[in-house]
Copies of this chain bind each other. A is one copy, B any other.
Amino acid sequence: MKKQIRVCMIGGGRVGKNHSRAFSYIPGGKIVAVVETVPQVREETAREFGFEHQFESLEAALEKIEFDAVVITTPTPTHLPLTALAAENRKHIFLEKPMALTIAECDAILDVVQRNSVFLQLGFMRRFDPEFVAAFQRIEAGEIGQPMMIKTNTHGPGLPPAWARDLKTSNGMLAEVNSHDWDTLRWFMSSNLERVYTEVANFKGAANQVDTPNFYDNVLVNVKFESGALGMLSGICPCGYGYDARVEIVGEKGIMQIGELKGQAVVVCTDRDHGLVTPIYRTWPERFKWAYINELSHFVACIQDETPPRAGGIDGRWAVAGVLAGTQSFLEQRPVYLKEIINA
C-alpha cells in the first residue's frame, strides 16, 4: 500500500468544506488539520469533518505537526504568501483558482515552487470532470475536426461577497466566477488566446445595494485565439435559475456540447398547462461532485507517485492573463491583446 498523504487544509469556508468532503472519498489522503483565522468557522469545520488539529495560521501548523501538502482555499490576495511559505517548507501545494491577482504574483509563485521542487496543482476541477475529460479526449482524437469556435459559460446563483466583486481585491467576476472558463477555452482549443473584447452590464447592483466601482453582474467576452479560432465566454452572477456551466464547440467536422442544465433524471408532469418539470443543477458542488473528488485524488496520487500534476501554474497564469485582458477591455472599450498583459 502507498503512503497515506497528510494534508493541511488552509481555509475552512465554503470551498474548504467542499474539498474536505471530497477527501472523505479518497483513502490515499487524509486531512490532518485546518488553518483558519476565524475561530468560529475553524471550530465548526474541524468538528464537522473530525480533524485532529486546528490552527490560526500556517506558521503555527508548520511548527506543531507533520504533513506533506497544503490545500489553499483562502481569498486570492493570500495566495502568494501562503504558497511561498508552504513551498519553502517543502509542502506540495493545491491552490484554488484564481492563481493570483497579477502576472507578477503568478511569476513569483512559479518561481518559489520551482526553486523548492514542490508540486503545484491549480483548482481547475473541470479538467477532472468525467464529461469534460471525455470531451477533451474526443476533441484531441479529432472527432469534430479542427476546432473553429467555442462557447463557454458559467452562470451562478448568489451575490458574491464584497471582496469578490471588487476589481481591486479580486479582479471581480471574470476572475471569481469565470476563471474556469478562461482555462477551459485554452484547454479545449489547444491554443493560447490572442485578444479579447468584453462587454459588461449591471442589472441587479442597485437592488442589491452594491456600490463597488465598476461592478457588473453580466459579462460577455469575444475571444480570438492564436490558432485563428473564435471563442465566447459569458458570466452571470447572481442568477436565480441554477448553476449553469456548459461548453459548446464547433470544429471543421462537427459540433460537441458538454454539460447541460438538467440535473437528476426524474421528470414529472402534473399539469398539462405547466409542462414537464426536470431538476436543474442547483450548485457547483452538486454539478462537479466527481470533478472535485477526482482532482484531489489526482493531487494525492501525484505526490505518492512523484509525478507532476496536470493543471499546473502555467495554466493558472494564462487564466489570470485572460482575466486581466478581459477587464482592461471593458474599462477601455477596445480589444486587448494578451501580450499587452503578459509583457506589461
Contacts and interface: CB of A to CB of B under 8 A. Distances in A.
A232 B47 CA distance: 47
Contacts of A25: 25
Interface string A253-274: 1111111111111111111111
Nearest to A202: B228
A239 B250 contact: yes
Contacts of A50: 1
A240 interface: yes
A134 B241 contact: no
A134 to B, nearest CB: 5
Given A197-B335, A275-B280, A276-B278, A230 B241 contact: no
Interface stretch (A64-72, A146-154, A174-182): A146-154
A277 interface: yes
Interface string A144-184: 11101101000101000000000000000000000000000
Q: Which of A203, A243, A256 counts the most chain B CB atoms within 10 A?
A: A203
Interface in A220-241: 220-224, 228-232, 234, 236, 239-241
B252 A268 contact: no
A146 B335 contact: no
A50 to B, nearest CB: 6
Contacts of A243: 272
A78 interface: no
A135 B278 CA distance: 12
A271 B241 contact: yes
Contacts of A149: 201, 218, 220, 234, 236
Q: How many copies does the complex hold?
A: 4
8 contacts: A146-B203, A155-B250, A201-B228, A203-B228, A232-B232, A253-B270, A257-B261, A269-B280
Q: Is the interface on chain A under 10, 10 to 19, 20 to 34, or 35 or more residues?
A: 35 or more
Interface of A: 1, 24-25, 27, 50, 130-131, 134-135, 138, 143-146, 148-149, 151, 155, 157, 197-204, 217-224, 228-232, 234, 236, 239-244, 250, 252-280, 282, 333-335
Contacts of A199: 197, 222-224, 230
Contacts of A270: 143-145, 240-241, 253-255
A253 B230 contact: no
Contacts of A236: 148-149, 250
A230 to B, nearest CB: 5
Contacts of A253: 240-241, 270
